[in-house]
Amino acid sequence: MTTSSGSQATPSRVLGTADAVTVGAAAMIGAGVFAVFAPAAEEAGAWLWVALLIAAVVAYCNATSSARLAARHPESGGTYVYGRERLGELWGYLAGWAFTVGKAASCAAMALTFGAYVAPELARPLAVAAVVALTAVNYRGLRTSAGLARVLLAAVLAVLAAVAAVGLLGSEANPAQLAVSGHWPGFFGLLGAAGMLFFAFAGYARIATLGGEVRDPATTIPRAIGIALAGVFVVYLVVAAAALTVLGRDGLAESSAPLADTVAAAGWPELVPVVAAGAALASLGALLALILGVSRTVAAMASDGHLPRSLAATHERFGGPHRAEAAVGAVVCLIVLVSDLRGAIGFSAFGVLVYYTITNASALRLGPRENRPPLLVPVVGLAGCLVLAFTLPLSSVVSGAAVIAAGAAVWALRRLVLDRRG
């Protein structure tokens, strides 16, 4: 089963392996790497490395399931398509709904992070400006978007390399800080930290949701996801090690800007503005990739009638779902104006984990002739997503579950109306 049942618009297949890796890595190496290690260290303490490993294992399982499904269903839409084809219309719809609302909140969080780093007193206007500008870039097609993502990713990696160099090679480095020892944080502390760290890896889904615009998707998507995930994991290990060797676990846990504090404590305070600039660029790179992914899922849902069908239209010149891109940009601007950063991140977290739960459940339905992953992979991925989802703060679980339930109610009402008409 390799085709969808929908009437999805046919976009241009313009992304090769290098471009797909760039989009996925840019989505993963976002603003989170500049901040996530501090709250994770506060939760996990000396067990930070174990939390990072748990997050990486769950991400690997999700990535493998996503890659195998994307190879069988090379369309834009990601798990919306996989759930629909493998589990039924409701599950595909719920995956698309969870991804759309969750990642729209992520877009707002990245935009607000950009504004906060550039000029905190003007954070919201700058966030809106960033969303408008990047929506305009995406409107012109994936070639333009991938080119900008490559530039942003290169700049951010250069900043992270500088942080790693001064942290690991400086006179203040203390390798003994890397030892896993000390107070056991409890399962909720360990898994809560893993949940935070997991979202730093979640950008590989952008490669799968762009499946309809990838050349030779059966080969390119699995390869690009594997390369992007492995590369980002190495980057996170090195950066976390640099921060820990200089700040120690307690200093890292108490830091509000851990990478900036790392270079300052290592004796390079002149690099603090550079790190801030890197965080701002990382926010833009993640926001660019997020808008791409959300707009493609919106277009796929619109082509099946779950959203206004006009949103599925493909631009004749640029080849992308231009109406969906404009609609997503408008919604994100609205969220930026009415929400705060912490609330947006927590809400997004729950939605993303629901999305990947359905991804792994869909992978369990692959047949032996469909290059299905070993059974343990989707089982661990599904269980890991559920556990991490319900170790999030209670407010995030309640609000996320309420929105998912509202989406299910909308679907049920639509089915009722269609059945009565039929």
Domains of the chain: 17-421 (1.20.1740.10)
Instruction: Measure CA of the first residue to CA of the last residue in the chain; give whole Å.
Output: 27
CB 210 within 8 A of CB 142: yes
- Helix and strand numbers, DSSP H then E, in the chain: 16, 0
The dihedral through the CA atoms of 43, 47, 48, 54 has a sign that is: negative
pLDDT of residue 241: 92
Question: What are the pLDDT tens digits along the chain (422 aa)?
Answer: 444 444 444 555 656 777 778 777 877 787 678 778 888 888 888 888 899 999 989 988 998 898 888 878 877 677 888 999 999 989 999 998 998 888 888 888 888 888 877 887 888 999 999 999 988 887 765 566 667 777 888 888 999 999 999 999 888 888 878 877 767 888 888 888 888 888 778 776 666 666 566 677 777 777 888 888 888 899 999 999 999 999 988 888 888 778 888 999 999 999 999 998 888 888 887 788 788 778 888 888 888 787 888 887 776 666 567 788 888 889 999 989 987 776 777 788 888 889 999 999 999 999 888 888 899 999 999 999 999 888 877 888 898 899 999 999 988 988 888 778 76
pLDDT of residue 6: 42
Helix residue ranges, H only, 312-393? 322-338, 341-363, 376-389
CB 266 within 8 A of CB 167: yes
pLDDT of residue 3: 41
* Cα(114)–Cα(108) distance, integer angstroms: 10
Q: What is the CA radius of gyration of the chain?
A: 21
Angle between helices 142-169 and 272-303 (to 10 degrees): 150
* Cα(366)–Cα(379) distance, integer angstroms: 13
The whole-model pTM stands at 0.77
* Cα(106)–Cα(27) distance, integer angstroms: 11
As a three-state string, the secondary structure of 262-308 is: HHHHCCCHHHHHHHHHHHHHHHHHHHHHHHHHHHHHHHHHHHCCCCC
* Cα(249)–Cα(76) distance, integer angstroms: 42
pLDDT of residue 209: 60
pLDDT of residue 205: 64
The dihedral through the CA atoms of 358, 359, 362, 363 has a sign that is: negative
